[in-house]
Structure 1
Amino acid sequence: MVKYSLLFYFLLTSVVVALGQAKNTSEEVVITSEKKITQVRTSKSGELLVNVSPKDAVKFKTTGFVHYSDFGAKGDGKTDDIDAIAATHAFANQNKLPVKADKGATYYIGGKERAAIIQTDTDFGKASFLIDDTEVENRNASVFLISSRQQPFNPKGITSLKKNQEKINTSLPQTCLVMVTDSTVRRYIRYGLNQNNGAPQTDIFVVDEKGNVDTNTPIIWNFDQITEISALPMDTTTLTITGGRFTTIANQEDSKYTYYSRNIAIRRSNVLVDSLEHRITGEGEQGAPYGGFINIRDCSSVKVQNTILTGHKTYRTIGRAGKPVSMGSYDLSVNRALNVSFVNCSQTNDINDRTYWGILGSNYCKNLLYDSCILSRFDAHMGVANATIRNSTLGHMGINAIGTGTFIVENSTIRGRSVVNLRSDYGSTWQGEFIIRDCIFVPNGGKPSSASLISGHYTGQHDFGYTCHMPERITIENLRIEDSNHPEDYQGPAIFANFNTEMTDESYQEQFPYVKTKEVVLKNVTIASGKDLRLSDNPVMFKDVKVVETGDRK
């Protein structure tokens, strides 16, 4: 008898996009090779008991892959196939075999707490998967978990770190993801209807075997002390997930912040997801929100391409401030992850339909990319270091972010209320530079509105746990502003929205001063309304901003 133990964990934070409390979930799959038929059953304690006949084992290894039907999956859309699916992957993982879904199958997955652990290439093909969330045992349990064979460890001798430190005082067995936390320091102390007391300071970066920090994933905080540190060796081969037509039958729970994580969780570096489709059915008058059908965390170099997603219906609840709020509900979630790209991705519902929440939420990330995407939203809640949006169209929720480094928006159409919105609940902060070029801005999706290119809100009276900055330099080149449909009193588009309506003269005092933009460079900005581009409705706040114009303005 071979006992195949699978231990995996979910580091799920309680913030808006990462959903639920931290929980360790242990699954055991016992694989035997007795001279009986190949079958899958469950023990009284919940263990998955898999017997693979010696004849079948030889056949599977000779064939070079396994199907879900090899382990008893019916694929009839009615029988719960999760045990068979999990067993298939367990055997495939043990023998390093790819997995293929059966052609024409429809796999029903009920509410049982059972995750299929994926550690080998998987081709879902054109098979369908019905994930029924109407009655689940554990809303935090993923359906599929793409995990690493590598094991995390605690590197020794690292007691502090400095921002932008180039090398750490340790050696590693190979290039690793290093994750650090100082629980004595609070950052991202949220303001507004979902106010909170912040989160422990954390960071994630890549370090090679000699201790050199990858310059593309710099350390962004000073860590005077470290209360938790771990290193995870990075997988060097690409694990590929292709195809699959997934449908979530939505939960009908009360509309509260009880996030559902019945998803595909990616916890391995170097993963490609290609040509997957996800749809949603059964959304009613109430429902709990979702934390991302594709949920990426604690990893690097993940690419999702040629994928079709679906925005979730927006439900309302009472927020921490005791007032009604709309709950974020996501089909894409990226948390504490590096070098994550979405290429040629779109969604089934209208990107301008405000009844559906924006499709992406992210926290603690570095180097996020949209390329050739048509999606309702890009969002970085608790910070991103460097982001790029190119060749894309953004819908009604537009681009929302705070963070550091360089934010590039190029050759894209933005249909939100501004080109970039600096999230006010986290201090409207970006310490770095914005580059906006070769873009079209359609304010408020073409509805009458007073357009501003950069929006946000900052009173200077709240401590967010860090000094708040506006981009030091903003470069806007070859921008077309489609503002012909505007209110009667429209004065023309502004570079900056009115970030603080109370700052009307020099007597206003910011308890926590805002570091404002030094320079805006404009080149070839054309405006459909024929009106001039203004600085802001708040000239007092932005009086020291230098605006440099080159090229034509029409």
Structure 2
Amino acid sequence: MKHTLLIICLLGFTVVSRAQDDAVITSYKGNIHVRNHEDGRLHINVPPKSTRKFKATGKIWYSDFGAKGDGKADDIDAIAATHAFANAYGLTVRADDKATYYISGKARTATIKTDTHFGKASFIIDDTDVERRGAAVFVVRSGKQPYMPTGITSLRKNQAKLQLTLPGPCLITVTNANVKQYIRFGPNQNSGSPQTDIFVVDGNGNVDMDAPIIWDFDQITSITALPIDETPLEITGGIFTTIANQAESKYTYYGRNIAIRRSNVTVEGLVHHVTGEGDHGAPYSGFIDVGNCAYVTVKNTVLTGRKTYTTIGSAGRPVSMGTYDISVNRAVNVSFINCTQTNDITDPTYWGIMGSNFGKNLLYDGCTLSRFDAHQGVANATVRNSTLGHMGINAIGSGTFTVANCTILGRSIINLRPDYGSTWQGELIIRNCVLRPSAKKLSHVSLITGSQTGLHDFGYICYMPERITIENLEIDDSNIPAGYGGPAIFADFNPQMKDESYQEQFPYVKTKEVILRNVKAASGKPLRISDNVFMFKDVKVLHNER
């Protein structure tokens, strides 16, 4: 979009503002007026007297721009107009606490560029009949414009500096479309994604080594720099209810959400409910959808797990569709603090609440949620002071994954996703945790689960964590049936690998060392290496009880 353009007309000193969020703002005498132009843009008139008042107070309300807030009239145009005007003049937006704003399926997105306080207001998002299922209800955007740096033709893993001079800190995204990675295996198999990395640099091109470059790029087919807003933006409050879609159950994702596409944003005190889910429906890509940004915090927020529906996957077999209330894609330094969900975190009829791709430095702290998940890789992740539900922790990636002071109600402490090679190139640290499997028919317990035949090319070398440290772990295996042999560190990742005759086409690099300190099982049975002793025969297990 173009920068805001102010044109001062000679007749009547009428000010026309072409805003970045696809609205035209005029300043004629009379009343505040919002109309939907035939070109699809909102045309907003705010008389000079009202403009002066708003600028003096520094804030505006949805009701100022015609929002009814009665739960019946469609308020999306008024809401979008309020934000468009606020963006043009740098004003805070406020909702009316007693209002209920109805948002229809109209393809209108409200662009947030200033602090927004939803307060105690309610918002009804009706997805039963939408014009464009991918249209966000709100999108949080930067006023800064991305651009394409020149002169960078290759990158090396852990490279510390780019030969760039930038106006300030930037989020860099690089792609090599000629290399495919994350070539998925299984019922949702695919041909992979272009090699991608995302990282932060300062104005001199120095890479933030807390989230380093994780791949060698022999060639770069695209590179984008997005300047990072240094001024924080806050979004607070709001009680949102989505009336779920009734579409066919197939992979036609709905993105009727709050999409965060600006860095340095905090969302606090938001509540999201879901109603109207039936026996079928299309999946959702996340109500809180964080992407192409850095330094985002979501805290003291209540979300809702979505009902699981099935469809036919790319391999021609029935699959359960991933559907999310939290989504993180191509984002660095994203934190979820003291977040919970409205439904039972152990109820398998609801899909795990979070999914992510291409993330770095992801954090759960003080959360009670059904799942943490990283599909196409995370570099460095921490889950602490939290309770994870039936889908537990699922991840692949690199760096350090720390799980501390947590209760895990899934089948394992961490599941290394088999569809992406069960790979973690780095270290796994587990401290002061309780594993309490919730599955009623569980016949065995393994701390680290996954599957790897060594026969599929995922587009990268697959690793198990090089070092695993497990300290002060309680395993509640008291309800396992007779014949249970005791908990294992590793699941049987490859039942076919029984001896040296098995040959991996794409060798799976095994763990070198496991350090155990104060690991106890309620059954009283000792911790074993695995049901597959051969596969893990070279793993060094150190018992350090200090």
Interval containing the TM-score (normalised by the shorter chain): over 0.9
Aligned to 1:210: 204
Aligned to 2:59: 65
SS of the equivalent of 2:22 reads strand
- Where does 1:67-82 land on structure 2 (aligned, <5 Å)? 67-82=61-76
The separation in 2 between residues aligned to 1:449 and 1:90, in whole angstroms, is 57
SS at structure 1 position matched to 2:544: strand
- Alpha-carbon deviation of 1:444? 3.4
Q: What is the distance in 2 between the residues matched to 1:44 and 1:2? A: 21
Match of 1:489 in 2: 483
1:170 matched residue in structure 2: 164
Distance 1:382 1:38 in 2: 48
C-alpha change, 1:308 and 1:331, in structure 2 (3 Å) is same
Residue 217 of structure 1 and its aligned partner are, at CA, apart by 1.5
Which of 38, 44, 47 pairs up with 2:38? 44
Aligned length: 533
Mark the runs of 5 or more structure 2 residues left unpaired by the alignment. Answer: 1-13
2:330 is aligned to 336
Give the drift of 1:64: 1.8
Q: Which residue in the other structure is 2:410 paired with?
A: 416
Match of 2:360 in 1: 366
> Partners in 2 of 1:99 and 1:211 — Cα distance?
35
Residue type of the partner of 2:454? G
Q: Could you tell me how far 1:416 is from its partner in structure 2?
A: 0.6
1: distance between equivalents of 2:54 and 2:202? 38
Q: Which residue of 2 aligns with 1:246?
A: 240
Q: Decide whether the 8 Å contact of 1:482 with 1:528 is kept in 2.
A: yes
Q: Does 1:306 align with 2:308?
A: no
Of 408, 414, 421, the match for 1:427: 421
- 1:398/1:420 contact within 8 Å kept: yes
Question: In structure 2, the residue corresponding to 1:209 is in which secondary structure?
Answer: coil
Conserved? CA contact 2:16–2:27, under 8 Å: no
Matches within 5 A, 1:471-550: 471-550=465-544
Residues 1:129 and 2:103 aligned together? no
Aligned to 1:24: none
Residue 335 of structure 2: SS of its match in structure 1? strand
- Identical amino acids, percent of aligned pairs: 67
Deviates more, 1:42-51 or 1:474-483: 42-51
Residue in structure 2 matched with residue 224 of structure 1 by the alignment: 218
Change (3 A) 1:318 1:39: same
The residue type equivalent to 1:372 in the other structure is G
2-side partners of 1:164 and 1:67: how far apart? 47
For residue 75 of structure 1, report the CA deviation from its aligned partner.
Answer: 0.1
Give the equivalent residue in structure 2 for 1:118: 112
Question: Conserved in 1, the CA contact under 8 Å of 2:18 and 2:25?
Answer: no
1:83 deviates by 0.3
Name the structure 2 match of 1:289. Answer: 283
Q: Deviations over 1:16-69 (max 9, x none)?
A: xxxxxxxxxxx5211111012111111122220111112211221222200000
| Residue 148 of structure 1: how far off its partner (Å) | 0.2
State the alpha-carbon separation in 1 of the partners of residues 50 and 432 from structure 2: 58
Identify the residue that residue 32 of structure 1 maps to in structure 2.
26
**2: CA distance between counterparts of 1:103 and 1:456?**
48
**8 A Cα contact 1:2 1:30, kept in partner:** no
Structure 2 distance, partners of 1:487, 1:426, is 32
* CA shift for structure 1 position 546: 0.4
One-letter code aligned to 1:49: H
Q: CA deviation at 1:298?
A: 0.5
CA contact (8 A) 1:133 1:251 kept: yes
1:446 to partner: Cα distance: 6.2
* 1:320 alignment partner AA: S
Quote how far apart the aligned CAs of 1:488 are. Answer: 1.4
Structure 1 position 550, deviation (Å): 1.6
2:6 is aligned to none
Q: Which residue of 1 aligns with 2:255?
A: 261
| CA 81–549 in structure 1, closer or farther in 2 if over 3 Å, else same | same
**Are residue 101 (structure 1) and residue 80 (structure 2) matched?**
no
CA–CA separation in structure 2 for the residues paired with 1:94 and 1:170: 31
Counterpart-to-counterpart distance in 2, 1:57 and 1:431:
56
In structure 1, distance between residues paired with 2:106 and 2:489:
52
Aligned-residue offset at 1:449: 3.2
Q: Deviations over 1:489-546 (max 9, x none)?
A: 1100000000001111111000000000000000001110111111100001000000
Decide which moves more: 485-494 or 329-338: 485-494
Deviation at 1:448, TM superposition (A): 3.6
Which letter does structure 2 place at the counterpart of 1:289?
A: P
CA contact (8 A) 1:422 1:428 kept: yes
Matches of 2:496 and 2:18, distance apart in 1: 60
3-state DSSP class of the match of 1:337?
Answer: strand
Rounded Cα–Cα distance in structure 2 between residues aligned with 1:113 and 1:282: 21
- What do residues 260-282 of structure 1 show as CA deviations (whole Å, max 9, x unaligned)? 00000000000000000000000
**Which residue does the alignment assign to 1:384?**
378
SS of 1:130 mapped into structure 2: strand
Q: Normalized against structure 1, the TM-score is what? A: 0.95
Alpha-carbon offset, residue 259 of structure 1: 0.1
CA distance in 2, matches of 1:455, 1:395: 16
Instruction: Pick closer, same or farther for the CA change 1:127–1:205 going to 2, 3 Å.
Output: same
> 1:467 matched to which residue of 2?
461
Further displaced range: 170-179 or 349-358: 170-179
Would the aligned equivalents of 2:290 and 2:331 in 1 still touch at CA under 8 Å?
Answer: yes
State the Cα distance separating 1:6 from its structure 2 match: 5.1
2:158 is aligned with 1:158 = no
Question: Counterpart of 1:395?
Answer: 389
Write the letter of the residue equivalent to 2:228. Answer: M
1:140 is aligned to 134
Query: 1:302 aligns to what SS in structure 2?
Result: strand
TM-score by length of 2: 0.96
Q: Is the 8 A contact 1:418 1:444 kept in 2?
A: no
- Structure 1 residue 366: Cα displacement: 0.3
Encode CA deviations 1:375-428: one digit per residue, 9 max, x unaligned: 000000000000000000000000000000000000000011110000000000
What is the RMSD of the two structures over their aligned residues, measured on CA atoms?
1.0
CA distance in 1, matches of 2:16, 2:533: 70
Q: In the alignment, which residue of structure 2 is the partner of 1:20?
A: none
Code of the residue aligned with 1:166 in structure 2: it is: A
Whole-angstrom CA distance in 1 between matches of 2:276 and 2:310: 17
Within 5 Å, give how 1:272-283 maps onto structure 2.
272-283=266-277
What code does the residue aligned with 1:277 have? V
Unaligned runs of 5+ in 1: 8-26
1:90 counterpart SS class: helix
Quick one: which of 197, 213, 238 aligns to 2:191? 197
Q: Which one-letter code corresponds to 1:434 in the other structure? A: L
User: In structure 1, what is the equivalent of residue 311 of structure 2?
Assistant: 317
Partner SS state of residue 453, structure 1: strand
4+ residue segments displaced more than 3 Å: 1-7, 444-449
Tell me which of 233, 236, 239 is aligned to 2:230: 236
Match of 2:83 among 71, 84, 89: 89
Q: 1:290 & 1:210 partners in 2: Cα distance?
A: 39
Inter-CA distance 393–156: structure 2 relative to 1 (3 Å threshold): same
1:457 aligns with 2:451: yes
Does residue 551 in structure 1 map to residue 545 in structure 2?
A: yes
